[in-house]
Amino acid sequence: MGRVGPVAKEAVEAMRRTGAVLAGIAVAVPGLADVTRGVVTPAPNLYWRDLP
């Protein structure tokens, strides 16, 4: 989860270089997120448990 900010910033900067206008940003995970521990807890359809 700690990589989201830097990756989003890089994407926005790349978009701006093309002259595009940002309409919004969304972030999703395929299960419940424990933000204190920084893990996705469980995502049963992907067989993920406590995935960073």
Q: Where are the domains of the chain?
A: 4-46
How many other β-carbons are positioned within 10 Å of the β-carbon of residue 41? 14
The pLDDT assigned to 18 comes to: 95
Q: What is the pLDDT of residues 3-51, one digit of tens each?
A: 788 998 999 999 999 999 889 888 888 888 898 988 888 888 888 888 8
Question: pLDDT value at position 17?
Answer: 95
pLDDT of residue 1: 59
Q: Which residues contact 27 (CB under 8 A, 6 or more apart)?
A: 4, 8
pLDDT over threshold 80, residue 2: no
pTM here is 0.51
Could you write out the DSSP letters of every residue in the chain? Answer: -TTHHHHHHHHHHHHHHTT----------SSEEETTTTEEE-BGGGTBSSB-
